[in-house]
């Protein structure tokens, strides 16, 4: 059966070029920002022909998305090797799970502080801002960004909240997928839209407010 007219043969793909393109894309976004990052610039810095980029990715945003996914995976693997069994959570590293010490508030504060660190890590900030911005305006890419990067993270909160529900620390009728937004989304919005400072104090406060509500007890 014939393939469509122009599907490149992935088995012949140059791994060297792929890596060089990822590196160049991330470096350029960090150095000059997303809008001034061009396909030609990436190709040139990667020592690669433009066509090699166009052959494998449909757009600048897609290059960056994959580059960032790759970066995240690498960081996660390194973290898994370096800190196997230690429970350490270095900045810029995906968590495999949120700690479950039995103290929900403490666990959430801990992981949100790690997120604050990550959001401030310059190596991650530029590309993730760029991707988030592109996703705001380009729904298709936005959905992929969310599905591949954001949602897996949020799922960890869902898991931790369910565990808390089982332990009786969270109201059993709550939808965890919505509940988690009470402390995650405010942080996200402050970071994305510069609507306020992003600090440990702030995220600690969010957890307190969210867990106990705004109304008097």
Partner DNA sequence: AGCTAATCGAGACGGTACGTCACGTCTTTAG
Partner DNA sequence: CTAAAGACGTGACGTACCGTCTCGATTAGCT
Looking at 41-49, 117-125, 152-160, 187-195, which segment touches DNA (CB under 7 A)?
41-49
Closest CA to 24 of 132, 130, 141, 127: 127
Integer Cα distance of 63 and 42 in angstroms: 10
The nearest distance, CB 178 to a copy of itself, in angstroms, is 6
> Residue 70 interacts with a copy of itself (CB under 8 A)?
no
Q: Is 174 in the site for a copy of itself (CB under 8 A)?
A: yes
Spacing of C-alpha 80 from chain mean position:
17
Count CA atoms closer than 13 A to 26's CA, side-chain side: 18
Tell me which of DNA, a copy of itself, none is bound by residue 170, counting a contact when its beta carbon lies within the kind-specific cut-off of 5 to 8 angstroms.
Answer: a copy of itself
Q: Is 55 in the site for a copy of itself (CB under 8 A)?
A: no
Q: Closest approach of Cβ 71 to DNA, in Å?
A: 20
Quick check: 31 binds DNA (CB under 7 A)? Answer: no
Per CB under 8 A, does 127 bind a copy of itself?
Answer: no
Backbone angles phi, psi at 102, to 5 degrees: 100, -20
Q: Does 157 bind a copy of itself (CB under 8 A)?
A: no
Considering only 10-18, 90-98, 110-118, 145-153, which stretch makes contact with a copy of itself by CB under 8 A? 145-153
8 binds DNA (CB under 7 A): yes
Selected from 19, 31, 33, 47, the binder of DNA by CB under 7 A is 47
- For residue 86, the Cα-to-chain-centroid distance in whole angstroms is 22
Q: How far is the CB of 29 from DNA (least distance, A)?
A: 12
Q: Are 180 and 161 in contact (CB under 8 A)?
A: yes
The runs of H, that is alpha helices, within the chain are: 15-32, 39-46, 50-56, 60-82, 104-120, 122-137, 139-145, 151-166, 176-179, 181-193, 200-212
Question: Is 35 among the residues that bind DNA (CB under 7 A)?
Answer: no
Out of 62, 120, 181, 198, which residue is the one contacting a copy of itself (CB under 8 A)?
A: 181
Tokens at 31, concatenated: 């150095």
Residues 108, 207 contacting (CB under 8 angstroms): yes
DSSP state of 97: S
- Binding footprint of a copy of itself on the chain (CB under 8 A): 33-35, 129-130, 132-137, 139, 142-143, 145-146, 150-151, 154, 161, 168-171, 174-175, 177-179, 181-182, 184-186, 188-190, 192-196, 202, 205-206, 209-217
């Amino acid at each position: 059966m014939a393939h469509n007219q122009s599907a490149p043969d992935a088995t012949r793909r140059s791994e060297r070029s792929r890596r060089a393109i990822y590196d160049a894309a991330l470096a350029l976004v960090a150095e000059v920002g997303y809008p001034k990052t061009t396909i030609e610039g990436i190709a040139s810095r990667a020592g690669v022909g433009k066509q090699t980029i166009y052959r494998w990715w449909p757009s600048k945003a897609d290059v960056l998305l994959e580059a960032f996914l790759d970066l995240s995976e690498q960081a996660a693997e390194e973290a898994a090797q370096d800190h196997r069994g230690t429970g350490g959570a270095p900045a810029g590293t995906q968590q495999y799970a949120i700690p479950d010490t039995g103290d929900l508030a403490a666990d959430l504060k801990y992981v949100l502080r790690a997120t604050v660190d990550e959001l401030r890590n310059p190596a991650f900030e530029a590309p993730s801002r760029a991707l988030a911005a592109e996703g705001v305006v380009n729904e298709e890419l936005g959905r992929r960004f969310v599905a591949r990067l954001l949602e897996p993270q949020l799922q960890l909160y869902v898991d931790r909240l369910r565990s808390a529900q089982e332990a009786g620390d969270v109201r059993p009728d709550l939808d965890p997928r919505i509940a988690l937004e009470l402390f995650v989304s405010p942080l996200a919005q402050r970071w994305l839209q510069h609507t306020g400072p992003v600090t440990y104090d702030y995220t600690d406060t969010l957890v307190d407010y969210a867990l106990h509500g705004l109304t008097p007890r």
